[in-house]
Structure 1
Amino acid sequence: MKNNLQFDFTVDKTTKTVFVNRDFAAGLSLVWDAFTRQEILDQWWAPKPWVSKTKFMDFKVGGRRFYAMVSPEGQEHWSIQEFTSINPTTNFKFFDAFTDKDENINTEMPSSDWDLNFSEQNGTTKVSIAIKHKALADLEKIIEMGFQGGFTMTLNYLEELLQTLQQQ
C-alpha cells in the first residue's frame, strides 16, 4: 500500500462547495468502474455499518441511480443521482438529492451538484470531486449532519475494496 496518497477535504463557504481530492493506489479503469457500476458501488457507497442498496441505475446522461443507505436495523435513507454529463473515464456529473422510497425529492433536505474528475499517473488514480450547494445553509446542514466523517470513511472503504479487487 502506498503511504503518500493524497486526501484533502475542503469546505469553501464563499462558493458553497465541498472539494474532495483523493488518490487511490489503483488504475483508472478500476476506479472509474467503482464509481459508475452498481455492483461495485453497493460494496462501498455507505459508511459502515450502513450498506448501500441500489434499486436501479442507468449510467447515461439523463439516467439515474436510485438507492438507499440502509442501517443494520433496516432503516433506509433514500437518494437519487441524476446524471447530467458523462465523459468516459475522465469526468461525470450528477444532481444528488434525498428522496423518499417512492423517488419524491425531499425539499427539506439539501441537494447538490457533483462534479467528479478522474486522472491517472504512474498507477495512482486521482479523483477530484466538487460538490456545490445552492445555499450556504444547505452546505452547513450537510456538514452538521456529519458528511465529512461519513464520506471520509466511505472513501477509505473504497480504498480497501480496490486493493481486494486488484488481488482477484
Structure 2
Amino acid sequence: MDTKIVFNTDENAGSLYIMQVFSAKPALIWNHFTQSNLLEKWWAPKPWKCETVEMKFAPDGIWKYNLISPEGEKHYGALKYHEINLHRSFDFTEYFTDDKGEKIEEVPSGNWLVGVTGVEEGTKLTINIQYNSAEELQTILDMEFESGFTEVLNQLEELLHKKD
C-alpha cells in the first residue's frame, strides 16, 4: 500500500507533475475523482472533512466544496471543469473561493490535467498542474500543497484498499 508518489516541480515553467500507480481498476480511480460522494471521503487532509456544496461533472460544470476543520473552521474551493474524455482524462481550473462561492483573486488558481491510464499494476494516475508564473507556483508550494496533496492521495489509496 505504500506506493511511491512522484512529485516534480518545474519552477521555471510554473508547473507541477504528480504521478502515482494504484493497484485498482481505472474505473474505480475515475469514479473517486468525478463523483462528489467519493471525493468527499478523501479530498481533505485528516482530520479535516470535505463537504460538497454543488457538483456537475461536465464540460463547463463545477464542483464547489468546503473543507471543514474539527473546530468548524471552513475553507472554500471550487473546480471549473473543461474538457472531459470519459474514463481517460479531464481538466479543470481549481481556485479558492469566499463563503459565497466567489473566486478569491489574491490566491493563485491552477489549471489541472488529470489522466487515468490502465497499466499492468492497476492504474497510473497523472496530474499536471500549470500556474501563470513561478511566483504563483511558489505561493502554492508555500501553502504546503505538496505535503497536503500527498496526504490526500495516501488517503485515497487507503480508501481503495478498504474496498478489496
For this structure pair, what is the TM-score category when the shorter chain's length is used for normalisation? over 0.9
**Gaps in structure 2 of 5+ consecutive residues:** none
Distance 1:106 1:46 in 2: 19
User: Which residue pairs with 2:49 in the alignment?
Assistant: 51
Which runs of 4 or more aligned residues in structure 1 lie more than 2 Å from their structure 2 counterparts after TM superposition? none
User: Which residue pairs with 2:94 in the alignment?
Assistant: 96
Aligned residues: 164
User: Which residue pairs with 1:162 in the alignment?
Assistant: 160
Amino acid at match of 2:23: A
User: Which residue pairs with 1:7 in the alignment?
Assistant: 5
Distance 2:110 2:9 in 1: 14
3-state SS of paired residue (1:35): helix
Q: Deviations over 1:109-130 (max 9, x none)?
A: 1101000011012251011000
Q: Deviations over 1:122-149 (max 9, x none)?
A: 2510110001001221110110110000
TM-score (norm 2): 0.96
User: Which residue pairs with 2:112 in the alignment?
Assistant: 114
Q: Deviations over 1:37-92 (max 9, x none)?
A: 00000000011111111111000001000001111111111011000110011000
User: Which residue pairs with 1:26 in the alignment?
Assistant: 24
Distance 1:140 1:76 in 2: 23
TM-score (norm 1): 0.94
Amino acid at match of 1:159: E
8 Å Cα contact 1:112-1:133 kept in structure 2: yes
User: Which residue pairs with 1:64 in the alignment?
Assistant: 62
8 Å Cα contact 1:27-1:123 kept in structure 2: no
Q: Deviations over 1:21-46 (max 9, x none)?
A: 01111000101000000000000001
Percent identity between matched residues is: 34
8 Å Cα contact 2:13-2:133 kept in structure 1: no
**Gaps in structure 1 of 5+ consecutive residues:** none
8 Å Cα contact 2:110-2:129 kept in structure 1: yes
3-state SS of paired residue (1:30): helix
8 Å Cα contact 1:83-1:92 kept in structure 2: yes
Amino acid at match of 1:151: F
User: Which residue pairs with 1:141 in the alignment?
Assistant: 139
Superposition deviation, residue 6 in structure 1: 4.1
User: Which residue pairs with 2:126 in the alignment?
Assistant: 128
